[in-house]
């Protein structure tokens, strides 16, 4: 496919060490950084492939760029890829693509949070096209997506059902803002919130995210209680009716996905293996190789 595990062996042999060493202090300063970088990777790969398109600021103003999509609400830390890029430009000018840096940053986010150490193939090029917010709107899944649509989405990356369930285990890190939580609570059928939800957790969500609050874009709940640890707690959470998003809560009840949930909840190593494989598949999605793309000078602009 054109990606390889020793792509920068001659042109930038220390690229992986440089990224890891630079991220460690950034993660200590702000422990929410790994979650942000992992989500950033998914949102890049989902729109036009893993090509750093999400990093491009629109020249006509932010609103029309990919980041202007409401589906990118809460996406943070794009600037960190820019920081890593300038370090790598100093070490090996014009060699390392922003698209590869983004994948390496997400990979370190997982490893430095206690998750699996994933080997990723490199050699992606950066896009020379910046998709509009409308395109991002149509390609990114809505926050209230169900199990069926999610499996369909991930099948496009060549993922098995097990890998799809493992990939959603990314929600072992990070938070969900109350605006999204309220949408789920308000879409109740006859007063019954959709998906597996325990009465205690529903009460907790209603307390944390009150109706009509003016700050529901700022307040949030944790995706699982070990929000900074990449572990299998997400699955225990979901089985206990404490899944935050609809898809987290529905997967437990769906006969296609329930077996994998139980497996991952019982066996963290097995989860890590499936997640690693899914991560690499995601990272290969729609990549540009050779002269299909460029190595940008700065990540937030297409010269």
Binding residues for substrate: 141
The tokens of 230 are what?
Answer: 């990449």
Chosen from Ca ion, ligand HEM, none, partner binding at 48 (C-beta under 5 to 8 Å by type): Ca ion
Please answer whether residues 244 and 223 qualify as being in contact, where contact means their C-beta atoms are separated by less than 8 angstroms: yes
C-beta of 232 vs 257, nearer to Ca ion: 232
Q: What is the 3-state secondary structure (H, E, C) of 92-106?
A: CCCCCCHHHHHHHHH
Please answer whether residues 228 and 250 qualify as being in contact, where contact means their C-beta atoms are separated by less than 8 angstroms: no
Figure out which of the listed residues 128, 229, 280, 294 binds Ca ion, where binding follows CB under 5 A: 229
Neighbouring residues of 147: CB distance < 8 A, sequence distance ≥ 6: 247, 250, 251, 254, 256, 257
Is residue 107 packed enough to be buried (19+ CB in 10 Å), middle (13-18) or exposed (0-12)?
buried
Binders of Ca ion in range 32-51 (CB under 5 A): 44, 47-48, 51
> Least distance from C-beta 8 to ligand HEM, angstroms?
24
Question: Quick one: which H or E segment has residue 176?
Answer: strand 175-177
Please answer whether residues 164 and 151 qualify as being in contact, where contact means their C-beta atoms are separated by less than 8 angstroms: yes
- Other beta carbons within 10 angstroms of residue 129's beta carbon come to 12
Known catalytic membership, residue 43: yes
Chosen from Ca ion, ligand HEM, none, partner binding at 244 (C-beta under 5 to 8 Å by type): none
Chosen from ligand HEM, Ca ion, none, partner binding at 42 (C-beta under 5 to 8 Å by type): ligand HEM
Chosen from ligand HEM, Ca ion, none, partner binding at 99 (C-beta under 5 to 8 Å by type): none
List the binding residues for heme b.
Answer: 171
Please answer whether residues 168 and 244 qualify as being in contact, where contact means their C-beta atoms are separated by less than 8 angstroms: no
Chosen from ligand HEM, Ca ion, none, partner binding at 181 (C-beta under 5 to 8 Å by type): none
126 binds Ca ion (CB under 5 A): no
Binding site for ligand HEM (CB under 6 A): 32, 35-36, 38-39, 42, 74, 76, 141, 143, 145, 150, 167-168, 170-171, 173-177, 180, 223, 245, 247
Please answer whether residues 47 and 135 qualify as being in contact, where contact means their C-beta atoms are separated by less than 8 angstroms: yes
Residue with tokens 């325990």: 198
Which of 14, 43, 177, 233 is the catalytic position? 43
> Least distance from C-beta 294 to ligand HEM, angstroms?
26
Q: What would the x/- binding string for Ca ion be over residues 174 to 213, using CB under 5 A?
A: ----------------------------------------
C-beta of 77 vs 182, nearer to Ca ion: 77
How far apart are alpha carbons 72 and 110 in whole angstroms? 21
List the binding residues for Ca(2+).
Answer: 44, 47, 49, 51, 53, 66, 172, 226, 231
Buried b (16+ CB within 10 A) or exposed e, 146-169: bbeebbebbeebebbbbbbbbbbb
In the chain, what's the furthest Cα-to-Cα distance?
63
C-beta of 218 vs 301, nearer to ligand HEM: 218
Residue with tokens 């609809």: 246
Please answer whether residues 62 and 83 qualify as being in contact, where contact means their C-beta atoms are separated by less than 8 angstroms: no
Size of the site for Ca ion (CB under 5 A): 11
C-beta of 71 vs 85, nearer to ligand HEM: 71
> Least distance from C-beta 174 to ligand HEM, angstroms?
2
224 binds Ca ion (CB under 5 A): yes
C-beta of 176 vs 257, nearer to ligand HEM: 176
Catalytic residues: 43
Binding site for Ca ion (CB under 5 A): 44, 47-48, 51, 53, 172, 224, 226, 229, 231, 233
């Amino acid at each position: 496919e054109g990606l390889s595990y020793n792509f920068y062996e001659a042109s930038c042999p220390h690229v992986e060490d440089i990224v890891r060493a630079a991220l460690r202090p950034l993660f200590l300063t702000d422990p929410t950084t790994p979650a942000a970088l992992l989500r950033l990777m998914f949102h890049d790969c989902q729109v036009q492939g893993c090509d750093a398109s999400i990093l491009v600021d629109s020249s006509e103003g932010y609103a029309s760029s990919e980041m202007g999509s409401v589906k990118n609400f809460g996406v943070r830390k794009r600037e960190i890829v820019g920081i890593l890029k300038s370090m790598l430009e100093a070490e090996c000018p014009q060699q390392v693509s922003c698209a590869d840096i983004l994948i390496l940053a997400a990979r370190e986010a997982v490893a430095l949070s206690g998750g699996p150490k994933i080997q990723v193939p490199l050699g992606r090029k950066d896009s020379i096209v910046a998709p509009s917010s409308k395109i991002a709107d149509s390609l990114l899944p809505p926050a209230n997506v169900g199990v069926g649509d999610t499996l369909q989405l991930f099948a496009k990356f060549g993922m098995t059902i097990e890998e799809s369930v493992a990939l959603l285990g990314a929600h072992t890190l990070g938070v969900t803002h109350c605006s999204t939580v309220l949408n789920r609570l308000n879409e109740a059928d006859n007063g019954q919130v959709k998906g597996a939800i325990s009465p205690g957790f529903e009460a907790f969500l209603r307390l944390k995210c009150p109706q009509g609050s003016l700050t529901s874009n700022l307040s949030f709940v944790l995706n699982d209680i070990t929000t900074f640890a990449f572990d299998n707690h997400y699955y225990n959470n979901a089985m206990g009716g404490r899944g935050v998003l609809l898809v987290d809560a529905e997967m437990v009840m769906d006969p296609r996905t329930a077996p994998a949930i139980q497996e991952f909840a019982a066996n963290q190593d097995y989860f890590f293996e499936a997640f690693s494989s899914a991560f690499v598949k995601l990272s290969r999605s729609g990549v540009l190789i050779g002269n299909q793309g460029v190595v940008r000078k700065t990540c937030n602009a297409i010269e």
